[in-house]
Amino acid sequence: MPVLPEQVSKAWGDRKGAAVFATVDKNGMPNTIYVTCVNKYGETIVIADNFFDKTKNNITAGSKGSVLFMTNEGKAFQVKGSVEYHTEGAIFDDMKKWNPKQHPGRAVVSIKVEEVYSGAEKIL
């Protein structure tokens, strides 16, 4: 399984502000949300499900996903791939360590890296 390329992993450490997470429903209608409870687990991006509704429905229906983030220098990176929804296990336990205590942390979503872009440049 592909992992985040090194330059993207390094850029993640220089991330500025919220990331954007996109999924699609079974009819192809996109749903895009800002996510602040987002982290890396190994070399994949993970997002805490604190208040998902449409996003969770899309994921459980088999949606792929995309995460877009910016660096402090204004460089954009987008990671695309299959999405997995975890309600237990090591990845879920890890999320409970970094997700803010005031949020429910119902589950954690992981993006299985399939494509990576920096702007229009395809990196992977």
Q: In whole angstroms, what is the distance from residue 110 CA to residue 86 CA?
A: 8
Within a domain: residue 68? yes
pLDDT at 38: 97
Domain assignment present for residue 104? The answer is yes
Overall average pLDDT of the 42-68 stretch = 96
pLDDT in tens, 80-121: 999 999 999 999 999 999 999 999 999 999 999 999 999 999
Is residue 1 included in any domain, yes or no? no
Domain total in the chain: 1
pLDDT reading at 39 higher than 80? yes
- Contacts made by residues 8-14, CB under 8 angstroms, sequence distance 24+: 8/77, 8/79, 8/116, 8/118, 8/123, 9/40, 9/43, 11/69, 11/71, 11/75, 11/77, 11/118, 12/40, 12/45, 12/69, 12/77, 14/71, 14/72, 14/73
Q: Give me the CATH number covering residue 50.
A: 2.30.110.10
The domain of 13 spans: 6-122
Question: Which pLDDT score, from 0 to 100, does residue 43 have?
Answer: 85
What is this structure's pTM? Answer: 0.94
Query: In which band, very low, low, confident or very high, does the pLDDT at 1 lie, cut at 50, 70 and 90?
Result: low
Share of the chain above pLDDT 70, in %: 99
